[in-house]
Amino acid sequence: MNVTLIRNATLVLDYGGKRIVVDPMLDPKDARPAIPNTADARRNPLVDVPANAHDAIAGADALLLTHLHQDHFDATAKEAFAKGLPVLCQPEDAQRLAGDGFATLFPIESAITWEGIAIARTPAQHGTGEIAALMAPVSGFVLSAAGEPTLYIAGDTIWYPPVAETIDRHNPAVIVVNGGGARFTTGDPITMTAEDIASVRHHAPDARIMVDHLEAINHCGETRASIDRRLGELDARMLVAIPADGETLSFD
């Protein structure tokens, strides 16, 4: 399995003989205003896509969408892919995607098998309290296929009991977590902090962990450097990759 980080949570998976693009955010730098009610006024995205982005997404066999917030599926992405391309998604998002013209939808209520790849939908909580309710629905997904490591894409979630339960149930070899500690001016973080990532590390000591969702959106205050440092302090740095935009990681 190869995983290329494009930017934010946008991944290109070469998995089970297929190329799957996860949560494409392809707008140019500064295309959108800052997210409201956040402390940083910079426009989004904060950085351009890397030079290899368009080559990486070329030949996509499917899209996998954890949810439809703009930093996971934006206006440029809607136009970048053929409308007949298979789209794997939450059932709650199917109607909106159909309205955008996508005609080959695979809403995943619980689990499906697509082209020999088993895909299970998993719980995610995008914050706490009222904010989490307003940000819902969001999902994670676990992928498995013959000859491939089991992959858990946690999605936009904090560390909470269902994430631990997902790890216990599926025993993933690779876990992708959305870091950055994204937050509004009030309330708790809505994506994983370094402390959350350390909890994943300690709960799944044998898994390889990849951290994305960093340094691309104005409300993500934790950086690659700060997460690297904090995980070291928490004795949780081993087997954690924090790739740069455009970087490809290989997992056996």
Task: Give strand pairing partners of 185.
Answer: none
Domain ranges of the chain: 2-244
DSSP secondary structure letters along 182-236: ---SSSS-SS--HHHHHHHHHHSTTSEEEEES-SSSTT----HHHHHHHHHHTT-
CA distance 167 to 131: 25
Handedness of CA 215, 221, 222, 223 (dihedral sign): positive
The separation between CA 90 and the C-alpha centre of its own chain, rounded to angstroms, equals 14
CA distance 64 to 86: 9
Give the single-character DSSP code of 161: H
CATH code given to domain 2-244? 3.60.15.10
Residue matched to tokens 């789209």: 87
Separation in Å, CA 110 to CA 60, 138, 140, 243 = 24, 13, 11, 30
Q: pLDDT tens, position by position, for the chain (252 residues)? A: 999 999 999 999 999 999 999 999 999 999 999 999 999 999 999 999 999 999 999 999 999 999 999 999 999 999 999 999 999 999 999 999 999 999 999 999 999 999 999 999 999 999 999 999 999 999 999 999 999 999 999 999 999 999 999 999 999 999 999 999 999 999 999 999 999 999 999 999 999 999 999 999 999 999 999 999 999 999 999 999 999 999 999 998
Q: What is the crossing angle of helices 194-203 and 161-170, to 10°?
A: 30
CA distance 170 to 144: 9
- Output the six-digit token pair for 241: 């990759």
- Output the six-digit token pair for 49: 């896509």
